[in-house]
Structure 1
Amino acid sequence: MKSYLKTKDYSVSKEDFELVQHPELEMLMTKPQPKDIERYYESENYISHSDSRKSLLEKTYQFVKRVTLFQKVKLVDRYVQDDKSILDIGAGTGDFLFAAAQKGWTISGVEPNSEARKRAFQKSVVLSSDIESVMHRKYKVITLWHVLEHLSDLENQILKMISLLEERGVLVVAVPNFNSYDAKYYQEYWAAYDVPRHLWHFSRNAIKKLFHKHGMEVVETRPMVFDSFYVSLLSEKYKTGKTNYLRAFQVGLRSNINAWSTKEYSSLIYVLKKA
């Protein structure tokens, strides 16, 4: 397999990794893919398993998360009018499901990390530890907010998710886009590579082709415009050792401006339905 980029785990282990091109799809794979992947999540630095607001970076992350929660719930509301059942895979600390419940959704969620599940439970959001625990029923909507890139055994996981969708159900997948301007600007320091926790790195074409062969079609693509700013902020820290807010804002803004014409935003939401 052809090498694309050499990078490292800047947030936890500091170990070196390589991104290689997939032989068939326009996507990248992390090499090596550790068998003991759990230890790379066991850090206070892994922010999506935390509700911490101690540092300015953490406060920025939590602010962006609150702003985008409303947008995410509004998006799924557009596709379902009745029997509003939703399964969130990789639910983290449960904020999205909590917001969905406030809008009348019947919620279910999966989160492998025990500390994140505890924080979700404090919000009255009860999460399962694995997908097998929620396979007793089908759902109108299944969401993966920056989760697909974490899943080992990717093809089988996709098949499981599709099997849990109702006949006219909707799958919503949000992932980083390595063809974005900020990814090309920061190269090996781009925070959204997040190796080795991110096992896969997707392009728009890769998502379309990956799900098409499983009978799913992309019916809508939406940008996550805040991601370029947050990812650039973290990338600046990895690259320079400093939190350069001005430079990060400039890169994030330019990434979004470029994407108006190229459609290559830092992160994208894909809405998929059975063909």
Structure 2
Amino acid sequence: MRTRLSSLALTVLLGILGLGTVFPFVWMIISAFKSNSEINAADQTFLPKTWTFENFLSIESKFDFLRLFGNSVFLAVTITAIVLYTSALAGFVIAKYQFRGRGMLMGFTVGTMMIPWAVTIIPRYTMFADAGLQDNYLSIIIPAAISGFGIFMMRQNMHAVPDEVLEAARIDGASEVRIFHRIVLPMSTNSIAALAIFQFLWVWDDYLWPYLMISDNANQVLAVGLTTFAGQYGTDYGGLFAASTISVLPVIIVYIIFQRRFVAGVASAAVK
């Protein structure tokens, strides 16, 4: 009886915390269907008194939403694909190959995760500005191409790949490149899916670095574009809510696609 009560209390508590987390997001979506006069009214209601799609229809006429959206999709997909490959490759090498300095290399990789990101902003900005890469997507892609978290996560997963399978492939004459692509990667899909969600979300929400490096509005990302939209059209909250609602759709879609493998991957990494 006590166990059931404890389980019920925990479920209720988690439900309340979940509602508290989701409520602002739901409010944003519903407010996207309200007129500005209703949003700014002193007498607020949860559901719109009059539903309108004007906020969604007028987004493109107020700022270059589709272009910024496409820029963000391009960068998020490109960086995520690069990070997945480099993390899996580095994790495989560190986990399955014996060489001098392997432990030091892994310690250095984990150490990079402990350095506050803000500490590296000025030297990183100076380095890319001196290299002439300002207002260039390479300045966004190159710093994110190697992920300490991704290498650590994939290295933990690679330990679960049986050495006997790799040795059998080598005996059959498979090269190391073939072993990695045909055996190791298919056996690591859960961790790859989990890392893909994390990395896509981080790139999609990144604001400060693109703001510093990209000066051409046509090449800017959506996260920065939304703040510009809010500053220039500060009273058009309906349009801002509508643009924000559309901007979270790619993250939700990616999560839905990889949801099952994401949970399995996170659980596997936690066990390791």
**Does TM, scored on the shorter chain, surpass 0.5?**
no
More helix by share: 2
Which fold has the larger relative contact order, with Cα–Cα distance below 8 Å and residues 6 or more apart in sequence?
2
Normalising by structure 1, what TM-score? 0.22
Structure label with greater radius of gyration: 2
Normalising by structure 2, what TM-score? 0.22
More strand by share: 1
